[in-house]
Amino acid sequence: MNNAGVLTGRPILRLKPEEIRRDFAINVFSQYWTILEFLPDMHRADHGHILSMSSTAATAGVPYNSIYCATKFANKGMMESLYLEQRQDAPTCRVKWTTVLPFVVNTGMAYEPRTRFPFFMPIVEPEECARTAIDALLRDEEECFVPPRYSLYCTYKSPKTPSSLPKSSTRQTYLAKTRILPSAILSIMSSTYPPNVANP
């Protein structure tokens, strides 16, 4: 289970190069090193399960969280790529891949996290996140949201444009809408981090 993560929430012009390198080293590179350590043995045993703790920040950008969002997009992209890589190179391999995308979890990473509409999008407690992640792992789910209903609130940025939209201007409008909606939902549902970041 790849679960290490840090958050540095500030406007980009106030970020230091060493902070960017540190956050990528912990949030992204550590997941590669862990996978490279264990995956060969999993392949030899034809058995295993890799779980990556990503975030709903992997579905849309959040103001003042450019590093965190970038690292979580990277986690999600890495897991999708490795899953498809295995399907192509070793389709009978029984190693499983699960990506978990929780909303804000009350771990102390952000000081007193809050949301504007807690009934629709509550702060997630660590125990709930752990239970949902383990349940997804036992069910061999490729991806799960915490809370699960978040998947209903968020429209994915589809990599494919419907073939029924031939004109380039129409296709651009479609792509713009599929990119704007997730960001709008996150902005409406969540509060901003900078005033409450635990590691300013």
Catalytic residues: 68
Do the strands 95-102 and 143-146 form a parallel or antiparallel pair, or are they unpaired? parallel
Taking each continuous run of H as one helix and of E as one strand, the counts in the chain are 6, 3
Compute, in degrees rounded to 10, the torsion defined by CA atoms 154, 150, 124, 199. -10
Burial of 113 (0-12, 13-18, 19+ CB in 10 A): buried
| Three-state secondary structure call for residue 110 | strand
DSSP track, 41-56: HHHHHT-EEEEEE--G
Do the strands 95-102 and 48-53 form a parallel or antiparallel pair, or are they unpaired? parallel
Alpha-carbon span 77 to 58, nearest angstrom: 9
